[in-house]
């Protein structure tokens, strides 16, 4: 069994969600040991919300959950990569497919990921 070293960074490790089929990086959040265990138990990714200081089931409100297909841990045991199936099409709480929806290219900023839902309608 592989397991992140939660001691290294005061109990939190970066967790990257990547689309298992396309390879697109969808988001990065943090995970504590409780979120890790809940993810393993449920098969859906859970994170630790640093702003709310609570466990966070991705998609628990919006329905845009992340089903785990594979889990990878880096060589230092302090970063987790989840290969996931993004249910509902959006990983970003702002309604975009990816949290990395803005791109700086040739000196110009543009949106590079589709808007999937209106957050004002989902997070009432």
pLDDT score of 1 = 82
pLDDT score of 45 = 98
Establish whether 10 is an annotated binding residue: no
Residues 45, 114: Cα–Cα separation, whole Å: 22
Establish whether 92 is an annotated binding residue: yes
Q: pLDDT band at residue 26, thresholds of 50, 70 and 90? A: very high
pLDDT score of 49 = 96
Establish whether 19 is an annotated binding residue: no
Rounded average pLDDT over 81-104: 97
Establish whether 112 is an annotated binding residue: no
In the chain, how many H helices and how many E strands?
2, 8
In the chain, what are the domains?
Answer: 7-121 (3.10.20.810)
Tell me: the pLDDT tens digits for 50-63? 999 999 999 999 99
Q: Using only C-alpha atoms, what is the Rg of the chain?
A: 15
Q: What percent of the chain has pLDDT over 90?
A: 97
Establish whether 99 is an annotated binding residue: yes
Comparing CA positions, the residue from 60, 63, 77 lying closest to residue 1 is 77
- Helix H segments across 9-101? 33-42
């Amino acid at each position: 069994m592989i397991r992140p070293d939660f001691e290294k960074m005061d109990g939190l490790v970066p967790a990257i969600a990547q689309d298992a089929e396309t390879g697109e990086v969808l988001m990065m959040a943090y995970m504590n040991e409780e979120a890790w265990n809940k993810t393993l138990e449920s098969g859906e990714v859970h994170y630790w919300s640093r702003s709310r200081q609570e466990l966070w089931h991705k998609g628990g409100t919006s329905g845009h959950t992340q089903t785990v297909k594979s889990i990878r841990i880096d060589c230092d045991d302090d970063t987790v990569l989840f290969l996931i199936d993004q249910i509902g099409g959006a990983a970003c709480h702002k309604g975009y497919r990816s949290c990395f929806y803005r791109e700086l290219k040739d000196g110009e900023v543009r949106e590079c990921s589709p808007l999937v839902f209106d957050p004002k309608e989902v997070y009432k």
